[in-house]
Amino acid sequence: MSRLDAKVAIITGGAGGIGIAAARRFIAEGAEVLLVDIDEEALIEVCEGIGSNRLSYTVADVASVEDNRRMVEVAEQRYGGVDILLANAGILGDTETIEHYDVARLDQVLAVNIKGPFLGLQAVIPAMRRRKGGSVVITSSIVGVKGAARLAPYVTSKHAVMGLMRSAARELAGDGIRVNTVNPSQTETRMMRSLEQGMNPDDPQRAQALMTANIPLQRYGQPEDVASVMLFLASDDASFITGSSYMADGGSSA
């Protein structure tokens, strides 16, 4: 048997690098997958690229109560239930000091990165109860356990979902619903290109070199590295794991 046979997974941020890698791994392990993102063109491209009859998509804004409820309804209608929620959608925001940070941008970062996982959990709990349990994996970050200059809203949001995860793990354990986080460090995705540009607009490669030098394994993570941890937490191999944070950070938090 594959590790996710007969499981149904919702993956938010499904058009991003980690979401795509997770979709590929989950499908390879037997899951049916509903990809969720706000960008329909990107979702279509991902689904065509993967080319599986066990993959489909729906467009949704994770900061919307109605959209979260609808994505769960779509998963139940298409696949019969929901066993896994990978609350992976997130945005970096601006690389800016606290003093000069735009408040509207702050609201956007907190809405997607905090409200999104909260509403996803809220929407999926009844569906998971109907399946007698499930696994929720929230994408946090290495900055969910430490600080970073000029990224205060993003860092704040990633700390916040750690608290959400721990509270939900205790609250939902009696329902057989496990809740954990994966905390990547720098990973080869579109978000990293934005961060490098924000850190050093004149020489983003220099920013990349400096960040790489601070990672003990001396490289950025690949989306597949993060997806492997997500697969473990989503599967029954992690049946006794809830309320935990898994660092996928090349040793950066050691």
At 31 the pLDDT is 98
State the average pLDDT for the chain.
97
Enzyme catalytic residues: 154
253, part of any domain: no
pLDDT surpasses 90 at 1: no
Mean pLDDT of 51-65: 98
Same domain, 162 and 49: yes
What's residue 106's pLDDT? Answer: 98
> Residue 144 sits in which domain range?
8-185+222-248
- Over residues 200-214, the pLDDT tens digits come to 999 999 999 999 999
Q: Domain check: are 137 and 55 in the same one?
A: yes
Indicate if 59 and 169 belong to the same structural domain.
yes
* Structural domain contains residue 87: yes
Same domain flag for 206 and 139: no
Q: Is residue 31 part of a domain?
A: yes
Is 254 a member of any domain? no
Contact 127, 77 (CB under 8 A): no
pTM above 0.95, yes or no: yes
196 shares a domain with 148: no
| Number of domains composing the chain | 2
Is residue 110 predicted with pLDDT exceeding 80? yes
The answer to whether residues 160 and 213 belong to one domain is no
Indicate if the pLDDT at residue 190 is higher than 90. no
User: What pLDDT shows up at residue 73?
Assistant: 98
* CATH code for the domain of 73: 3.40.50.720
Residue 126 and residue 195 in one domain: no
165-189 pLDDT, tens digit each = 999 999 999 999 999 999 999 999 9
Same domain? 146 vs 73: yes
